[in-house]
Structure 1
Amino acid sequence: MVGLERGTVELEPFREEWKELYNQEIARLKDIAGDRFLEFEHIGSTAIEGMPAKPIIDILAVVEDLDEAEDLIPLLEEHRYEYRPGDIEGRLFFAKGPRTNRTFYLSLTEQGSDFYTDKIAFREYLREHPEAAEQYASLKKKAAEKYPKNREKYTAEKGDCIQDILDRAMNE
């Protein structure tokens, strides 16, 4: 099962079904926009075996040119993806599902962008370093208990650990 109310934090143990839900959504996205998406990556905690996660599948879709990809916004909105302009450079961000039950996050970015590189490096480092994954999982659980109704504080609580893991990933 996937879905979580916007702004809340609730972690679930890793579920194999998240991989299948990711694959099903990729098939839908390919039907929606065809070859406008060059590549897809499953990112976030639902992509890391054994990692507790908010039950929202996080998808990274690579586009050739992010500025040109802005014309995908209305098309994705027609298919229940809510465009959420944000302050993260190098991506267009969408959430799927009603605000009371977000099911998918979709980030459009260019291959080789800082956003792309950081997301892939972080995921791969945690997949390859069980001790770092366990440290991150422990911090996530504590932050979720501390801030179950405040996603911003939950995210901020993890910031230093994320940066430390990302620094290690980039220096390997």
Structure 2
Amino acid sequence: MIGLERGNVTLVPHRSEWKRAYEAEVERLESIAGDRLHGYEHVGSTAIEGIAAKPVIDLLAVVDDLSAARESLVPLLEEYGYEHRPGDVQGRLFLAKGPRSNRTHYLSLTERDSDFHAETLAFRDYLRENPDVAVEYESLKQKLAENHPNDRETYTERKGRFVERVLEDAMDDPNGSD
């Protein structure tokens, strides 16, 4: 199962099908965008084996230039079911796939040398390489999901300190070891 209503915070146990859903979407994006997207990565909690996550597949794709992507690539992706969601995260363009009642994929476009690219991969890799930290993150997310099931903004905001702490550790030790 993948998909979740926009704004809803529901976590489900990790599912092996998420990796296949990521791979299928990469194939689809390659057929749509060709070489304008490259360097795909499965990110977000669905990319961390063993922890519960919102059942929405997060993808990261590299573009050569964000401004050019905004002008030419975003309209193309919108023709194929993605909705551009302007936001305040520096260094990325964010798109969501699926109707608001059933978001299935999130796609972040970024440049390879951006802080957003480095931090997103560092966070994912650190959790993959430090299962105890991943379990701590899962526990925090479950508590927040119980307390804020219909308030995605608060859920995300309250994870902030944990994410910052993990990023500090991950960026200090890019190999993920303690």
Q: TM exceeds 0.5?
A: yes
Task: Provide the C-alpha distance between the structure 2 equivalents of 1:158 and 1:69, rounded to a whole number of angstroms.
Answer: 30
Alpha-carbon shift at residue 84 of structure 1 (Å): 0.7
Q: Deviations over 1:119-152 (max 9, x none)?
A: 0000000000111111111100000000001001
Question: Displacement of 1:73 after TM fit?
Answer: 1.1
1:130 lines up with 2:131 in the alignment:
yes
User: 1:156: Cα distance to partner?
Assistant: 1.1
Counterpart residue type for residue 161 of structure 1: F
Match of 2:67 in 1: 67
CA offsets, 1:151-171, max 9 Å, x none?
Answer: 011111111111101110011
Residue equivalent to 1:169: 170
C-alpha displacement at 1:88, in angstroms?
0.7
1:26 maps to 2:22: no
Runs of 4+ displaced beyond 4 Å: none
Per-residue deviation, 1:39:
1.1
Displacement of 1:74: 1.0
**Residue 102 of structure 2 is aligned to residue 101 of structure 1:** yes
- Aligned pairs for 1:80-159 (under 5 A) are 80-159=81-160
1:136 maps to a residue whose letter is: Y
Name the residue aligned to 1:42: 42
Amino acid paired to 1:73: V
Per the normalisation by structure 2, the TM-score is 0.95
Residue identity opposite 1:169 in structure 2: A
Do structure 1's residue 12 and structure 2's residue 12 form an aligned pair? Answer: yes
Displacement of 1:112: 1.8
Distance 1:151 1:80 in 2: 22
RMSD of aligned alpha carbons: 0.6
- Distance of 2:85 and 2:157 partners within structure 1: 19
Amino acid at match of 1:123: R
Given residue 145 of structure 1, which amino acid in structure 2 is its aligned partner?
E
Cα distance in 1, alignment partners of residues 59 and 171 from structure 2: 21
Q: CA deviation at 1:50?
A: 0.6
Q: Among the aligned pairs, what percent are the same residue?
A: 59
CA–CA distance in 1 between the matches of 2:17 and 2:38?
Answer: 24
- 2:5 and 2:23 map into 1 onto residues whose CA distance is 23
| Map of 1:3 onto structure 2 | 3
Aligned residue pairs, count? 172
